[in-house]
């Protein structure tokens, strides 16, 4: 990553809050936090967006959309961070998370698995999506508001993950995440990157 990021000694306002959150939780500031701290107003807006999305769909569906998008994109940053969040929130257990990294979504409910697939389609080929994709969400019980918020959750993950990838932000080890699971999530990202792009 070639961009210069705010140092801890000069952090103020929202940047100081961002850094303090990482230090309080893990004892250091993550590289992705430093990158986003270059434009703290944008980071604050992203947090506000997530805060407006989660109440209607709940943490399980939010993490299904987030992890589904992160796996499709091939974002190690977000797979590791949200893998740990899913463990801490009892969304997935360790076995289910390791299986998810290998492409097995059985740790999610059938309705949540539809969300994972929807998020992947949005991340891979949104131009091909039709009413049939949103109808699949409706068919498993999601309301209009929830369908919109599931879409926003997956799109928001694309925004954040792709920004980190484009800036070549280093991937930090995520404390408290079993090394075997971390390796599986990293392999999941590598598998996505090795797929043909369709350019011939």
The verdict on residue 127 lying in a domain is yes
Domain count, the chain: 1
Residue 103 inside a domain? The answer is: yes
The pLDDT tens digits of the residues spanning 59-118 come to 999 999 999 999 999 999 999 999 999 999 999 999 999 999 999 999 999 999 999 999
Within-domain flag for 177: yes
| Domain membership of residue 177 as a residue range | 58-192
Q: Is residue 42 part of a domain?
A: no
On whether the CB atoms of residues 123 and 133 are closer than 8 A, the answer is no
Helix 94-101 × helix 40-73 angle, to 10°:
80
pLDDT at 187: 75
Supply the pLDDT for residue 191. Answer: 55
62 closest CA partner among 30, 96, 89: 89
**Structure confidence at residue 188 (pLDDT):** 65
Residue 167 belongs to a domain: yes
Which pLDDT score is estimated for 190? Answer: 53
pLDDT tens per residue across span 3-58 = 999 999 889 999 999 999 999 999 999 999 999 999 999 999 999 999 999 999 99
CA distances (Å), origin 151, targets 84, 140, 172? 22, 15, 28
Say what the alpha-carbon torsion angle 120, 122, 127, 129 is, to the nearest 10 degrees. Answer: 80
Pairwise pLDDT comparison (200 vs 20), residue with the higher score: 20
CATH of the domain at 145: 1.20.1290.10
pTM, full prediction: 0.90
Does residue 152 sit within a domain? yes
Is 154 among the domain residues? yes
Count CB-CB contacts under 10 A for residue 93.
12
Rounded Cα distance between 167 and 59, Å, is 28
In a domain, 155, yes or no: yes
């Amino acid at each position: 990553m070639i961009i210069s990021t705010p140092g801890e000694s000069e952090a103020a306002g929202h940047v100081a809050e961002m850094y303090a959150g990482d230090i309080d939780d893990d004892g250091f500031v993550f590289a992705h936090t430093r990158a986003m701290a270059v434009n703290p107003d944008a980071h604050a807006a992203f947090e506000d967006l997530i805060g407006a999305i989660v109440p209607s769909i709940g943490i399980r569906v939010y993490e299904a959309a987030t992890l589904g998008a992160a796996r499709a994109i091939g974002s190690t940053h977000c797979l590791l961070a949200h893998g740990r969040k899913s463990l801490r929130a009892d969304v997935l257990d360790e076995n289910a998370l390791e299986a998810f990294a290998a492409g097995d979504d059985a740790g999610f409910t059938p309705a949540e698995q539809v969300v994972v697939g929807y998020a992947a389609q949005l991340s891979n080929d949104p131009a091909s999506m039709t009413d049939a994709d949103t109808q699949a969400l409706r068919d498993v019980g999601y309301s209009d508001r929830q369908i919109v918020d599931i879409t926003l959750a997956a799109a928001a993950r694309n925004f954040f993950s792709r920004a980190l990838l484009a800036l070549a932000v280093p991937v930090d080890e995520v404390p408290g995440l079993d090394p075997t699971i971390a390796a599986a999530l990293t392999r999941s990202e590598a598998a996505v990157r090795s797929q043909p792009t369709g350019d011939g």
